[in-house]
Amino acid sequence: MAVERYNAPEREKHWQEIWQEADLFAAKADDKRPKAYILEMFPYPSGRIHVGHSRNYTMGDVFARYKRAKGFNVLHPMGWDAFGMPAENAAMERKVHPGAWTRENIAAMREQLKSMGFAIDWSREFATCDVDYYKHQQKLFIDMMKKDLAYRKSSKVNWDPVDNTVLANEQVIDGRGWRSGALVEQRELTQWFFRITHYAEELLEALDTLDQWPEKVRIMQANWIGRSEGAMVRWAIEDKGAAAGIEEIEVFTTRPDTLFGASFLAIAPDHPLAKAAAKNKPEIAEFAAECARQGTSAADLESAEKKGVDTGLRVRHPLDPDWLLPVWVANFVLMDYGTGAIFGCPSGDQRDLDFARAYDLPVVPVVLPAGEDAATFEIGDTAADGDGTMINSRFLDGMNPKQAFDEVVSRLEKEKLFGKPVANRKVNFRLRDWGISRQRYWGCPIPIIHCGDCGVVPVPDDQLPVELPEDATFDAPGNPLERHPTWSKVDCPQCGKQAKRETDTMDTFVDSSWYYVRFTAPHADKPVDAKEAGYWLPVDQYIGGVEHAILHLLYSRFFFRAMTDAGHAPKATGKGSNLREPFAALFTQGMVTHETYKSSEGAWLPPESVVLEGEGKDRSAKEAKTGAPVTIGPIEKMSKSKKNVIDLDEFIGNYGADTARWFVLSDSPPERDVIYTDVGVEGARRFVQRIWRVISEIAEKAAAKDAPKPEKFGPEATELRRAVHKALHNVGRNIEALRFNVAVATLYDLANVLGSSLQKDGEGHDWALREAGEFTVQMFAPMMPHLAEECWSRLGYNTLVTNQPWPEPEPALLVDDEITIAVQVNGKRRDELKIAKDASKDEVEAAALALEAIVRALDGRQPKKVIVVPQRIVNVVV
RNA sequence: GCGGACGUGGUGGAACUGGUAGACACACAGGACUUAAAAUCCUGAGGGCCUAGCCCGUGCGGGUUCGAUUCCCGCCGUCCGCACCA
């Protein structure tokens, strides 16, 4: 009989109301069940949720619902990463207050998330721009400062000389300010830093304990921290007059063994010596200014052509006082790394080689790679940075680099320059302290007061929070806090004299470095409720984009330690005692991508305004309204700026939340990108309807819901039960491993089986059908929860499937008595063999050799060897 | 430039730990139902050839192995991050 269509939008609303009334997802600590804290990286409230965002939350939700069914006490909260630049840009462009803009966006996005039917404990929701959140962050800052984990120092920013404002790296386009178009320059400012380097060693070593993190993220973090063992080597400057009294240059090197291959020293353009030298040589000043116009980003610096200027200064080689080397200023040497000075060994380092070739500096090979002849070996375009034998290195000749390293360092440790050892061993990290100062309004104010007499004074606890002034102006670039007429004027808390508030606000990465702690007790009157945090932490499954693999995750790992050490530790409970890592398991998911469209004027067009025609190479597009031609651009991650987004409301209105959920889980492995296509969505929508039909038919044909389990099952029923129990096993296993696309495929498979078994009959079949229907509904319930509730009630229940425990498969139904294995001859498959699962090796071999196709393939030749891997394969070698 | 990943039919992808490559889905073709269409259901299919069978095939080139999508080396391409986007 015909089954009426499932009206997803209408039924979904219904079930969401039911869940809300039952208050199913509110989490409470102190439960007898084991806990599971499941968290997706919280969103920036940019305006509206699109299908791209929804994937991340859907994955978390499937996992949370599954864990709930498996008997865990689940915490699955949601909040808003609400500070940041876009709100301030909106304020400038549209004259809305950043706060108002943000609140509006949050309200809209909250409704969108709710319409997806996520199993979220909304009572814990907060935004990082809530005073009640950031006031605790100010307290954390002060306590970290007291532990010397926050401090001030000078560092560089991108400065727009026309707008008189600091620019973010992304606001610098080809060296110019994005609004003014002015050439950006580097400028030094005194700014606040977190001492993340204090934890460099620990953050590196603890990576080994994160066995539920993707290997690639751990590798990236390890490289980012960049521990290297080397030596500090001091070089005496020959002409001190020219160097403004500076006597030496200290260099960090990981390769002291290659010292005899040195041909120059290079210093950063902002190295003190470079600054001193610039006073006498205008071309150095000019070069430094040119470098300062390159922007501050490492990618720009390192991909720029290697350039330099000879300072004219000369230094003495530490191993040979008669050997003088030139000192260059070079754009590829970074003041932030090591000492801001290097010695160049062109034969052993590609960057040094490129530089030496450009400026005709000597290239002396010092490491002879294995297999090369010392007499003929020459360096071409590629540096020899590998292992080998030392040559051209006097007393080091014949050693390997490791021995030479030790020899050089121990010699130089004993030598003195100006009364101190010439060299000493040193462990260096690439990791730099975290600069958190932002010269902007929409962020957490740094709770500091600057007093002419007392200096830097933290705001006392009883004067917290330092709130942002509502009446700031956004009509001009620059920091609204700085130009506010009264806000920064305060009395010094120590001496009472007139003083000035710190007008820098914190990097928004600070906000997101501890929000997962706050979720454990979002209304507590101190930053951390030790008991709640101790119960829920660590986060058992954290889900977010790979783009956060380094910064957000490393900052969070640091901040969690720092706040703990500053007196805000979770209370140790059993397993969680001495908790240092906030995220026990991490999953990095891929983006949802979509084609981009551009009008003939070069403007981005949203997909709904474009009509597509043809297929393959003949595909073309035009504007729906005007018919004007449209360029089909590359497939890129859905983003507002490129307009290639599918709005969630519209989607849900058309298809329903379950279709959206099913679509983003289907096909693509979750860690990889998924391309949004209309046909893909159609497929998901059809499946929703198909499931509804199949379950409805099962509800009619199956045994009554309390019918006793039959003693015996006929072959049809057994076949069905095998398929269902296997699917149950696989779906559970794959959700557990977050391989949602495979779980989805398993369910497609099962739906095919259910469809055909509806035509069948036999002993116990009606009971098997009911079991199949119920298990199937439970299996897809985490993914399509609304449809599952609808089907559950169709099957005659007035309970909620959301509250049902995950069924356990019967082990006996998971194994087949007879299996099929492939038979190969010389590694090529020639036939397959059906044989009892527990057949012995000899039986398998005999049966395989008797196969007609094998006899033919052997063609009378005697097998040299027969490899039998039980239950897998037979390979006959001739 | 540096660091990290990824690459399988027309398409998205599957393949547990080195053991039958292409599950499942989309698109396509044929059929059933229908006055017709939509919807639904059934069937087919990696490519090639001398088609009872054989050969080729997981970006390209090598290697290890009885056996490689899987491990190793080199290359090409794409994507992510690079410290003030979040």
pLDDT (tens digit, 9 = 90+) per residue, A277-304?
A: 888 889 999 998 888 887 778 888 787 8
Helix (H, G, I), strand (E, B) or coil at A539: strand
- Tell me which residue of A716, A770, A776, A785 sits closest to A749, measured CA to CA: A776
CA distance A61 to A551: 25
Give residue-wise pLDDT tens across range A460-471: 999 999 999 999
Task: Return the closest nucleotide (C1') to the Cα of A350.
Answer: B1
Place of tokens 């040979």: A320
Task: Return the closest nucleotide (C1') to the Cα of A745.
Answer: B24
The model's confidence at residue A698, banded by pLDDT at 50, 70 and 90, is very high
With a cut of 80, say whether residue A88 has pLDDT above it.
yes
Report the 10 Å Cβ neighbour count for A114: 15
C-beta separation of A118 from A57 below 8 A: yes
CA distance A825 to A236: 73
C-beta separation of A76 from A27 below 8 A: yes
Helix (H, G, I), strand (E, B) or coil at A143: helix
Joined tokens for residue A375: 């007499």
CA distance A151 to A149: 7
Report the 10 Å Cβ neighbour count for A440: 26
> Greater confidence, A642 or A738?
A738
Q: What is the pLDDT of residue A13?
A: 94
**Average model confidence (pLDDT) across chain A:** 90
Q: If you measure CA to C1', which residue is closest to nucleotide B12? A: A667
From the CA of A218 to the C1' of B4: give the distance in Å.
10
For chain B, which bases have at least one atom within 7 A of a protein Cβ?
Answer: 1-6, 12-16, 19-21, 23-27, 39-42, 53-55, 66-68, 79-86
Burial of residue A872 (number of CB atoms within 10 Å: 0-12, 13-18, 19+) = exposed
Helix (H, G, I), strand (E, B) or coil at A809: coil
The distance of Cα A173 from the centroid of its chain, to the nearest Å, equals 25
ipTM confidence: 0.92
C-beta separation of A98 from A91 below 8 A: yes
Report the 10 Å Cβ neighbour count for A490: 18
From the CA of A294 to the C1' of B60: give the distance in Å.
38
From the CA of A666 to the C1' of B31: give the distance in Å.
29
Helix (H) or strand (E) holding A265: strand A264-267
Mean pLDDT, residues A10-35 taken together: 94
- Tell me which residue of A432, A429, A430, A434 sits closest to A191, measured CA to CA: A434
Q: What is the pLDDT of residue A527?
A: 97
From the CA of A157 to the C1' of B24: give the distance in Å.
53
Task: Return the closest nucleotide (C1') to the Cα of A759.
Answer: B41
From the CA of A823 to the C1' of B29: give the distance in Å.
34
Give residue-wise pLDDT tens across range A105-159: 999 999 999 999 999 999 999 999 999 999 999 999 999 999 999 999 999 999 9
What percentage of chain A exceeds 90 in pLDDT? Answer: 61
CA distance A783 to A778: 10
The model's confidence at residue A693, banded by pLDDT at 50, 70 and 90, is very high
- Tell me which residue of A314, A315, A336, A325 sits closest to A269, measured CA to CA: A336
CA distance A875 to A878: 10
With a cut of 50, say whether residue A1 has pLDDT above it.
no
From the CA of A1 to the C1' of B34: give the distance in Å.
17
Give residue-wise pLDDT tens across range A765-790: 999 999 999 999 999 999 999 999 99
**What residue type is assigned to position A429 of the chain?**
F
Q: Which residues pair with A229 in a beta bridge?
A: A427
CA distance A802 to A18: 11
CA distance A737 to A178: 44
Q: Which residues pair with A190 in a beta bridge?
A: A154
From the CA of A129 to the C1' of B84: give the distance in Å.
19
With a cut of 50, say whether residue A162 has pLDDT above it.
yes
- Tell me which residue of A554, A547, A473, A555 sits closest to A506, measured CA to CA: A555
CA distance A799 to A550: 45
As a whole number of Å, the CA-based R_g of chain A is 34
With a cut of 90, say whether residue A200 has pLDDT above it.
yes
CA distance A562 to A834: 62
From the CA of A773 to the C1' of B35: give the distance in Å.
38
Task: Return the closest nucleotide (C1') to the Cα of A303.
Answer: B1
Mean pLDDT, residues A855-874 taken together: 85
CA distance A649 to A326: 66
Q: Which spans in A758-821 are helix H?
A: 765-780, 785-794
From the CA of A478 to the C1' of B17: give the distance in Å.
59
Task: Return the closest nucleotide (C1') to the Cα of A189.
Answer: B84
From the CA of A816 to the C1' of B15: give the distance in Å.
19
- Tell me which residue of A864, A863, A841, A858 sits closest to A873, measured CA to CA: A841
Task: Return the closest nucleotide (C1') to the Cα of A219.
Answer: B4
From the CA of A645 to the C1' of B11: give the distance in Å.
21
Task: Return the closest nucleotide (C1') to the Cα of A872.
Answer: B19
**What residue type is assigned to position A484 of the chain?**
H
- Tell me which residue of A393, A388, A415 sits closest to A345, measured CA to CA: A393
Q: What is the pLDDT of residue A741?
A: 92
**What residue type is assigned to position A216 of the chain?**
K
Q: If you measure CA to C1', which residue is closest to nucleotide B24? A: A745
CA distance A138 to A194: 13
ω into A465 cis (within 30 of 0):
yes
CA distance A595 to A607: 8
Give residue-wise pLDDT tens across range A558-594: 999 999 999 999 987 655 457 999 999 999 987 777 7
Residue A386 has φ and ψ, to the nearest 5°, of: -95, -160
E strand residue ranges, A748-853: 818-825, 828-836
CA distance A788 to A8: 11
ω into A582 cis (within 30 of 0):
no
> Greater confidence, A678 or A427?
A427
Mean pLDDT, residues A16-30 taken together: 94
Task: Return the closest nucleotide (C1') to the Cα of A220.
Answer: B4
Reported as half-sphere exposure (CB side, CA atoms, 13 A), residue A765 has a value of 15
Task: Return the closest nucleotide (C1') to the Cα of A437.
Answer: B84
Q: Which residues pair with A150 in a beta bridge?
A: A194
- Tell me which residue of A449, A439, A440 sits closest to A501, measured CA to CA: A449
From the CA of A264 to the C1' of B61: give the distance in Å.
40
The model's confidence at residue A412, banded by pLDDT at 50, 70 and 90, is very high
Task: Return the closest nucleotide (C1') to the Cα of A674.
Answer: B12
Mean pLDDT, residues A618-630 taken together: 73
CA distance A648 to A9: 13
Mean pLDDT, residues A591-607 taken together: 73
From the CA of A673 to the C1' of B76: give the distance in Å.
22
Three-state secondary structure readout of A234-287: EEEECCCCCCCCCCEEEEEECCHHHHHHCCEEEECCCCHHHHHHHHHCHHHHHH
User: How are beta strands A35-40 and A73-75 bridged, if at all?
Assistant: parallel
Give residue-wise pLDDT tens across range A480-533: 999 999 999 999 999 999 999 999 999 999 999 999 999 999 999 999 999 999
CA distance A411 to A416: 10
Q: What is the pLDDT of residue A304?
A: 81
Residue A8 has φ and ψ, to the nearest 5°, of: -60, -55
The distance of Cα A175 from the centroid of its chain, to the nearest Å, equals 28
Q: What is the pLDDT of residue A706?
A: 87
Helix (H) or strand (E) holding A569: none
CA distance A185 to A480: 22
Reported as half-sphere exposure (CB side, CA atoms, 13 A), residue A849 has a value of 18
* pTM as predicted: 0.93
Helix (H) or strand (E) holding A720: helix A715-736
Give residue-wise pLDDT tens across range A52-76: 788 889 999 999 999 999 999 999 9
Give residue-wise pLDDT tens across range A353-403: 889 988 999 999 999 887 788 888 888 878 888 888 999 999 999 999 999
